[in-house]
């Protein structure tokens, strides 16, 4: 089985970028070890703090954030980082060629039940004309991403990675200590009968999404003419991993549950990197009205509606959004 670095070299990835990805993965290996130790390492449970997103931080959110931030900034090739758990961007080397955004721990509510969680990251080019402390340097559309990936802390620790040459899956070999290529080319089936959405928010959705899910639930008797199955892991990283493995559609639509927060998922830390991985695997990703990777960000912490996965099913959902 092939190691990560030779695969990236073969894909023509820049040496500094390979070193940066390896550093992110070194932090993830450390997180994987701590997650694996669970209560033995005293890493479960919450802190008394709230993050910029208005969420109570879990101990693992903070630990993962600190590990990633410190190790990434130490590389010297990174101009600044932006994280779900940081109020502001953090400046690195003014000469650094890269910017890194990350969701240090996705699926925080799964930490205390020994269920799926992960780390999501995205690498953007640094902007020569902007200061290392300027958050505006991060306001680039998802199409500008140089690399994106996630590490899933599951029964196996797995990496999904794209540098724009397809999406590949790697598995952490804990005896050797590195990630080995276990699926060279991910191809999401374009047709599916599986959807993922938090159904408890149904009454808060917009009419288009209500109508779409309503038709899926009618199954064979409805206009779709087939029965659908549902899955919800409550960690986007787990739901997207399932979609990369066997197809499906994942949605976190706009809702009116909290008028101050119509969308849940974060563009820079969740939606953009996942969209890059999904598109590179032949899937689609949209807000319902626009391709996610075409969005021009206006704020590092901005949120978006997300509909991603099997192409035909995403297209079916989009039809319900046309007025």
Instruction: By CB under 6 A, tell whether 198 contacts ligand AHG.
Output: yes
322 φ, ψ to 5°?
Answer: -80, 125
Instruction: By CB under 6 A, tell whether 85 contacts ligand AHG.
Output: no
CB of 104 to ligand AHG, least distance (A): 8
- Residue 84 and residue 270: Cα distance in Å, rounded? 9
- Residue 111 and residue 46: Cα distance in Å, rounded? 10
CA distances from 65 to 3, 271, 313, 320 (A): 26, 18, 35, 38
Contact window for ligand AHG (CB under 6 A) among 70-78, 165-173, 229-237, 314-322: 229-237
| Helical segments of the chain, H only | 4-10, 15-37, 59-74, 207-218, 236-246, 272-280, 311-319
**Is 316 flagged in the annotation as binding?**
no
Instruction: By CB under 5 A, tell whether 239 contacts Mn ion.
Output: no
Question: Nearest-CA neighbor of 139 among 282, 28, 296?
Answer: 296
Q: Pattern of binders to ligand AHG over 257-286, x per CB under 6 A?
A: -------x----------------------
Cβ-based neighbours of 192, under 8 Å, separated by 6 or more: 247, 248, 249, 309, 310, 312, 313
Instruction: By CB under 6 A, tell whether 106 contacts ligand AHG.
Output: yes
Instruction: By CB under 6 A, tell whether 234 contacts ligand AHG.
Output: yes
Binding test (CB under 5 A) with Mn ion, winner from 25, 62, 75, 106: 106
Closer by beta carbon to ligand AHG, 139 or else 152 = 152
Binding test (CB under 6 A) with ligand AHG, winner from 169, 213, 236, 300: 236
- Residue 315 and residue 205: Cα distance in Å, rounded? 19
79 touches, from ligand AHG, Mn ion, none (C-beta below 5 to 8 Å by class): none
Contact window for ligand AHG (CB under 6 A) among 23-31, 74-82, 104-112, 174-182: 104-112
Residues constituting the chain: 323
Biggest CA pair distance of the chain: 61
# residues near Mn ion by CB under 5 A: 5
Closer by beta carbon to ligand AHG, 157 or else 163 = 157
227 touches, from ligand AHG, Mn ion, none (C-beta below 5 to 8 Å by class): none
Indicate the SS3 state at residue 99.
strand
Closer by beta carbon to Mn ion, 83 or else 316 = 83
Closer by beta carbon to ligand AHG, 13 or else 306 = 306
Indicate the SS3 state at residue 259.
coil
- Residue 186 and residue 244: Cα distance in Å, rounded? 7
313 touches, from Mn ion, ligand AHG, none (C-beta below 5 to 8 Å by class): none
**Is 107 flagged in the annotation as binding?**
yes
CB of 205 to ligand AHG, least distance (A): 12
Which contacts of 87-90 are long-range, i.e. CB under 8 A and separated by 24 or more positions? 87/52, 88/135, 89/133, 89/134, 89/135, 89/137, 89/138, 89/300
Is the Cβ–Cβ distance between 14 and 227 less than 8 Å?
no
In this structure, how many other beta carbons lie within 10 angstroms of the beta carbon of residue 77?
21
Residues near Mn ion, by CB under 5 A: 55, 84, 103, 105-106
Binding site for ligand AHG (CB under 6 A): 55, 84, 103, 106-109, 198, 234-236, 252, 264
Which residues fall in the annotated binding site for substrate? 106-109, 198, 264
Could you tell me which residues are annotated as the binding site for Mg(2+)?
Answer: 84, 103, 105-106, 270
């Amino acid at each position: 089985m092939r190691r990560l670095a030779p695969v990236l070299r073969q894909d023509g990835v820049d040496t500094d970028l390979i070193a940066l990805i390896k550093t992110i993965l070194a932090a993830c290996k450390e997180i994987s070890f701590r997650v694996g130790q669970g209560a033995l390492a005293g890493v479960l449970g919450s802190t008394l703090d709230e993050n910029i997103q208005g969420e109570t931080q879990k101990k693992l959110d903070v630990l993962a954030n600190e590990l990633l931030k410190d190790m990434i900034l130490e590389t010297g090739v990174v101009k600044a980082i932006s994280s779900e758990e940081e109020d502001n961007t953090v400046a690195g080397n003014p000469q650094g060629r890269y910017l890194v955004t990350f969701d240090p721990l996705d699926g925080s509510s799964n930490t205390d039940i020994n269920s799926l969680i992960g780390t999501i990251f995205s690498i953007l080019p640094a902007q020569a004309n902007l200061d290392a402390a300027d958050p505006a340097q991060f306001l680039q559309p998802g199409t500008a991403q140089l690399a994106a990936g996630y590490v899933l802390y599951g029964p196996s620790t797995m990496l999904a990675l794209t540098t724009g040459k397809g999406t590949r899956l790697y598995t952490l070999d804990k005896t050797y200590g590195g990630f080995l290529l276990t699926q060279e080319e991910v191809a999401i089936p374009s047709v599916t009968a599986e959807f993922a959405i938090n159904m408890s928010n149904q009454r808060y959705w917009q009419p288009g999404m209500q109508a779409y899910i309503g038709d899926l639930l009618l199954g064979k008797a409805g206009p779709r003419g087939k029965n659908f199955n549902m899955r919800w892991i409550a960690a986007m990283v787990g739901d997207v991993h399932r979609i990369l493995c066997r197809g499906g559609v994942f949605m976190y639509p706009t809702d009116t549950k909290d008028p101050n927060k119509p969308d849940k998922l974060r563009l820079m830390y969740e939606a953009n990197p996942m969209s890059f991985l999904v598109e590179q695997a032949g899937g689609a990703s949209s807000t319902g009205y626009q391709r996610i990777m075409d969005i021009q960000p206006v704020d590092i912490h901005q949120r978006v509606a997300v509909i991603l996965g099997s192409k035909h099913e995403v297209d079916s959902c989009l039809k319900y959004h046309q007025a």
